[in-house]
Amino acid sequence: MRPSDTILPPPVQEILARQGIEKFYPPQAEALPKVFAKKNIVLAVPTAAGKSLVAYLAIIHRLCAEGGKALYVVPLRALAREKYEDLQAFEPLGLKVGISTGDLDESDTRLNKFDIIVCTSEKADSLLRHGLTWVDKVRVLVIDEIHLIHDPTRGPTLEVIISRFKALNPKTQIIALSATIKNAVELSDWLGAELIQSDWRPVTLHEGVYFKHVIRFDDGSKKPVAGDAKQALDVLVEYALRDGGQSLVFVNNRKSTVSVAQRLASLIEPTISAEDNKRLKTLISTMRKSQGELVAPDESLSLCIEHGVAFHHAGLDNSQRRSVEQGFKDRMIKCIVATPTLAAGVNLPARTVIIRDLWRYDMNFGMVPLPILEYKQQAGRAGRPRYDSVGEAITIAKDSDQADTIFSNYVLADTEPIFSKLGTQPAMRMHLLAAISTGFVKDFDGIIKFIHSTFYAYQADQLTIEQEVRNALDFLQENGFVEKVRSGFIPTAFGTRTTALYVDPLSALRLKNALECLHTREAGALGFLHAVCSTPDLRSLYMRGTDAWVEEKLDYVAGELLADVPQQGSPEYEWFLSDLKTAFLLNDWIEEVPLDSLVSKYNVWPGDVHTVLEVAEWLLHALREFARMYEFSAVTSIADVITRVQHGCKEELLNLVTLKGIGRVRARALYNAGFPTVNSLRGIPEERLAKIKGVGKAVAVNIKKQLGEDDGKGNVVLKARRA
């Protein structure tokens, strides 16, 4: 089927033609007539088989014909950016595309002006909690990666979004996109959707197992692999590099991504052309400029990239990950060594995928086998459309018995069925409170009806459902989130605010308890930081064998904390120390300890630090909002801590960092140069400010503009002052 064979209007066909789309893939051709007929669909096909385009065209067709809005929901921010950029290609049709992945404590009214909104599942849920005014205008709801309903963290939110949309706007067309899953029929039945399921790929995928210089593939063929390298992985990377190929290597932990990439550098460097060498150096320079403070891991990544290889994991900061991904897309980086998180992220195919590790560590069970679905996601990255006719995904066996086991358990195996995770108490209490607080449900019968509209109800028996609901309701009642009245349930002010702030009710309870401790204790920044670190919404750092210093410092700071210290030796005590270690990291940050030192002291990566900072800032905001209700005298102190976390600065710099473009490094430079406040900068010549290390002319000009002054000669720019 060609675009011209469909009901798509000529302007849409022209946009597709400019993208080189002359013919639809078979799964697309099967799905599009159903999509244009406004039917709900589940499209379960392999990676790179064109799922996203079907969703885009569903949106374009419906909105161009009827108006209204579309919501495109993705699991990750990186994916949101990718889909947003893809959809912008259709803006010439008169459709405005917006993206929203940020603040969860606001309705984001700016989204009213957009026709297509791309957002994360958490943001979509937050919008519904804040009384989404345009829910009746949503003509198409796209759920990308719907198989993540199986994920314990994201799954329940995804499930609730769909259930609420089905209730609030039954006419919304649901387009669910998924990898191939075993129980796709069950999923499509729940959605009232038609299932389009296919194993078709634009690039043929051969899955195989390597043992003793031979790859045994799933089509029965065998391929000998020559190579002098001693390690099997090195032999396979050499094999993948032939004829300009690229490879993705998947390992099971961050440490291995670095060590393997460093080892492969000498192997890959000879394949880098002089032109690519120059481009790689430019890429490194761009990456460094886009970062704030440089840390030691940056150097190891830069050295790897210089040799045409890179490592990739969640501990890298955003600029590092984007640079690695772009370098690979531009074919400068020949090999990426990554953890499995890359397989579920942005579109990044390679000719060859090498899966070294089929086991990973679980803190509860030790080493556990990789789920088949995750293996298939990794394998599915093999084969670049428009570049390769065949992609190869290769695992490594240590002996013939293991080779047979891998072949039967992974290569030839079906993916596991997916199961709802809404039945867990953390998910149940959070989403039940939201449903009650927003008036979506009002009594027990309404709650049961709501739960019965979820995927969870398709997989659990009636008695289990009612018991889990009652347990969650008991928690919410006993802790003051909801009240039982004759007509059913009503939210308290505490419950309503908890829902709006988008925090786990247990987190809200712990923050409230911390504020109540202020009646008998005085707390500084560390006390507030420890309070947010003690919530389930912030994943604390692990205690390692070298972290005895945390317990030693506890004796000195116990009086500053807004919680009692648990009994030594108890499980609660170990968690308490983990929370305290995380609070110490945050406290070091706001005391202006360099990022490099934090990475070394806490044995973390820059991305880990930024994740902790982001979540802590959100929870501190929640703490401040609860303080407005329960301990108003603490509001200003908490607000100061929020600003310090945002900028990583001591209290004495709070005034200076109110200037745009002035972070902690420049603020400290200004302070040390004798300018402790914004007012102290008034009347100072621009040239003098520019000479301060780290400031420069451009920043000095910017400061003067914000002060309403020109070049420091006393001529006031009235327009700027009014602004």
CATH of the domain at 148: 3.40.50.300
E strands, 255-358, where?
A: 309-312, 335-338, 352-355
- Segments forming the whole domain that contains residue 219: 204-411
Phi, psi of 206 (to 5 degrees): -110, 120
Instruction: State the Cα–Cα distance between residues 189 and 400, nearest whole angstrom.
Output: 42
Residue 418 lies in a domain: no
Indicate the pLDDT class of residue 721, thresholds 50, 70 and 90: very low
- Which of 197, 227, 249 represents a domain boundary (last residue)? 197
Same domain, 30 and 132: yes
pLDDT at residue number 111: 84
Residue 165 lies in a domain: yes
pLDDT at residue number 287: 85
Residue 119 lies in a domain: yes
pLDDT at residue number 361: 82
CA distances from 702 to 658, 661, 689 (A): 13, 8, 11
| Residue from 385, 266, 472, 388 nearest 23 by CA | 385
Same domain, 524 and 605: yes
Instruction: State the Cα–Cα distance between residues 549 and 249, nearest whole angstrom.
Output: 37
Structure tokens at 309: 């290889």
Residue 143 lies in a domain: yes
Render pLDDT for 102-122 as a digit per residue (tens, 0 to 9): 765 555 678 889 999 999 999
- Angle (nearest 5°) at CA 543 between 539 and 547: 135
Report percent pLDDT > 90 for the chain. Answer: 77
Lowest average pLDDT, out of 322-326, 351-355, 478-482, goes to: 322-326
Render pLDDT for 241-252 as a digit per residue (tens, 0 to 9): 988 889 999 999
Residue 118 lies in a domain: yes
| Angle separating helix axes 571-590 and 606-630, nearest 10 degrees | 100
3-state SS assignment for residue 138: strand
Render pLDDT for 643-698 as a digit per residue (tens, 0 to 9): 999 999 999 999 999 999 899 999 999 999 999 999 999 999 999 999 998 899 99
Render pLDDT for 484-537 as a digit per residue (tens, 0 to 9): 999 899 999 999 999 999 999 999 999 999 999 998 888 899 999 999 999 999
Render pLDDT for 531-579 as a digit per residue (tens, 0 to 9): 999 999 999 999 998 999 999 999 999 999 999 999 998 989 999 999 9
pLDDT at residue number 710: 60
Report percent pLDDT > 70 for the chain. Answer: 96
Render pLDDT for 357-400 as a digit per residue (tens, 0 to 9): 999 887 777 889 999 999 999 999 999 888 888 999 999 999 99
Average pLDDT over residues 253-274: 93
Render pLDDT for 62-103 as a digit per residue (tens, 0 to 9): 999 999 999 999 988 888 999 999 999 999 999 999 998 776
Structure tokens at 198: 């296919």
E strands, 163-281, where?
A: 173-178, 194-197, 204-211, 214-217, 222-224, 247-250
| Residue from 83, 96, 80, 71 nearest 173 by CA | 71
Pairing of strands 335-338, 204-211: unpaired
Average pLDDT over residues 36-42: 96
- Which of 149, 165, 197 represents a domain boundary (last residue)? 197
Residue 520 lies in a domain: yes
pLDDT at residue number 293: 56
More confidently predicted of 154 and 481: 481
Same domain, 235 and 376: yes
Same domain, 253 and 388: yes
Same domain, 176 and 241: no
Average pLDDT over residues 145-150: 92
Residue 420 lies in a domain: no
Render pLDDT for 413-461 as a digit per residue (tens, 0 to 9): 999 999 999 999 999 999 999 999 999 999 999 999 999 999 999 999 9
pLDDT at residue number 229: 67
State the DSSP string of 604-660.
--HHHHHHHHHHHHHHHHHHHHHHHHH-GGGHHHHHHHHHHHHHT--GGGTTGGGST
pLDDT at residue number 520: 87
Task: Mention every residue, 6+ apart, whose C-beta is less than 8 A from residue 342.
Answer: 248, 250, 312, 313, 336, 348
**Length in residues, the chain:** 723
Q: Are 338 and 349 in contact (CB under 8 A)?
A: no
pLDDT at residue number 104: 58
Q: Are 202 and 48 in contact (CB under 8 A)?
A: yes
Same domain, 31 and 176: yes
Same domain, 538 and 596: yes
Same domain, 381 and 245: yes
pLDDT at residue number 716: 43
Instruction: State the Cα–Cα distance between residues 318 and 128, nearest whole angstrom.
Output: 28
Question: What does DSSP assign to residue 131?
Answer: T
If one counts the domains in the chain, the total is 5
The residue type found at 274 is A
Q: Are 612 and 532 in contact (CB under 8 A)?
A: no
Q: Are 260 and 312 in contact (CB under 8 A)?
A: no
Average model confidence (pLDDT) for the chain?
A: 91
pLDDT at residue number 410: 96
Please give the helix or strand (H or E) that residue 325 lies within, else none: helix 318-329
Q: Are 435 and 450 in contact (CB under 8 A)?
A: yes
How would you class 7 by CB atoms within 10 Å of its CB: exposed for 0-12, middle for 13-18, buried for 19 or more?
exposed
- Can you give the CATH number for the domain in which 560 is found? 1.10.3380.30
Render pLDDT for 312-341 as a digit per residue (tens, 0 to 9): 998 888 888 889 999 999 999 999 999 988
| Residue from 285, 338, 289, 348 nearest 315 by CA | 338
Please give the helix or strand (H or E) that residue 102 lies within, else none: none
pLDDT at 211 over 60: yes
Same domain, 688 and 578: no
pLDDT at residue number 348: 85
Same domain, 532 and 679: no
pLDDT at residue number 296: 47
- Which of 500, 519, 547 represents a domain boundary (last residue)? 500
Residue 633 lies in a domain: yes
pLDDT at residue number 291: 65
pLDDT at residue number 714: 47
Helix, strand, coil % in the chain, rounded to nearest 5: 55, 15, 35
pLDDT at residue number 591: 97
Same domain, 580 and 622: yes
Same domain, 141 and 158: yes
3-state SS assignment for residue 423: coil
Q: Are 605 and 315 in contact (CB under 8 A)?
A: yes
